Amino acid sequence: MFDKLDDILIHYEELMQELNNPSVTEDQNRFRKLMKEQADLADLVETYTQYKKAKQTVEDSLALLEEESDEEMREMAKEELSEAKKQIEALEQELKILLLPKDPNDDKNIILEIRAGAGGDEAALFASELYRMYVNYAEGHHWKVELISVNENGIGGFKEVVAMITGKGAYSKMKYESGVHRVQRVPETESGGRIHTSTATVAVMPEAEEFDVVIEDKDVRIDVMRASGNGGQCVNTTDSAVRLTHMPTGIVIYSQTEKSQLQNKEKAFRLLRSKLYDIELEKRQNSEAEERRSQIGTGDRSEKIRTYNFPQGRVTDHRIKLTLYKIDSIMNGDIQELLDSLIAADQAVRLSKLNEEM
């Protein structure tokens, strides 16, 4: 591991020298690539530098204890030695995590798709609450949320809602949300006070770049029409809505949230690219089934991942057997503790696998 880290340190220094060369900005593509590589390595290099300093402190403290006879100085050296050893242990673990293979999609924006499942109107209401939960979480991170399409049920619920969330590292955090979310509560329409169980399915897809997926013109039928439902002034008076049909897969995309046909078309193509990219990812993951099954948050989308129990005020994530009794704040977008726990569990599984191989 440390030979690899030393090589990375040398490479990072060469990278910084290249970036400090004024001529590098003449090739903007090259400059952007170098800047991204530098940013990707910065945390690892900083952590390894701290590790090397802590190792040096251990050596210096041990040398001082051999030479020094003054008791006060010896006590100080012992304290420094103890502190540095603890630091080394923590930094070693951090370095192992930083060296884990990075998901190439982690820095991507996401397409968020929520569909009401079993439970009729109550499931649609739950789907709309999940959507608001994610919007609040995204806004707390200063991410941009753009609605692509929504199919409402008439009483404030969503049969289906699709949105683009743009922000650094959006996929790295939100990818753990894909799966079936279950709600247990007494619906407002229930006169007998019985607890109902309803579900909604969440899909989080990395946004595909144009070079990730090539869509042939002959494979797509484009239809334009008048938008329906809510959407602001003029939404029903112009042919601004766009429907794409991808012939090879049968995927149909509908976008109507913008007044401009061009903007709706652009959004629809972004969603189509991401859906096709997601299909390819799933194929790849299925071919690595054993490895993927051992990881958190990369399983089957039909898997029930979380229960929101309102009478008990609890949210339980079944993958990591974590229960939090703060359902109100979670539904308001405070999901960081859930996501941090999922990330930590995923890293622990991958580290364990790595240690077995070493």
At residue 225, φ and ψ (nearest 5 deg) are -160, 175
Q: Which fold has domain 110-210+295-357?
A: Alpha-Beta Plaits (3.30.70)
Rounded Cα distance between 59 and 70, Å, is: 19
Question: For residue 114, what are the contacts with CB-CB under 8 A and spacing of at least 6?
Answer: 127, 130, 131, 134, 158, 160, 161, 162, 200, 201, 202, 203
What's the sign of the alpha-carbon dihedral 170, 171, 176, 177?
A: positive
Using DSSP's 3-state secondary structure scheme, residue 206 falls into strand
What's the sign of the alpha-carbon dihedral 112, 113, 114, 117?
A: negative
Question: What pLDDT, on the 0 to 100 scale, is given for residue 187?
Answer: 84
pLDDT in tens, the chain (358 residues): 777 888 888 888 888 888 888 888 888 888 888 888 888 888 899 998 999 999 999 998 998 888 878 888 899 889 999 999 999 999 988 888 888 878 888 889 999 999 999 888 899 999 999 999 999 999 999 999 999 888 888 888 999 999 999 998 899 999 999 999 999 999 876 667 788 999 999 999 998 887 778 888 899 899 888 776 544 444 445 678 889 999 999 999 888 888 888 988 988 898 898 989 888 887 776 665 554 444 555 445 567 999 999 999 999 999 999 999 999 999 999 999 999 999 999 888 888 776 665 5
Give the predicted TM-score (pTM) of the model: 0.74
Burial 115-142 (b: 16+ CB within 10 A, else e): bbbebebbbbbbbbbbbebbbebbeeee
Question: What pLDDT, on the 0 to 100 scale, is given for residue 200?
Answer: 95
Q: Which fold has domain 217-287?
A: Double Stranded RNA Binding Domain (3.30.160)
**Single-letter residue type at 110:** I
Domains in the chain: boundaries: 4-99, 110-210+295-357, 217-287
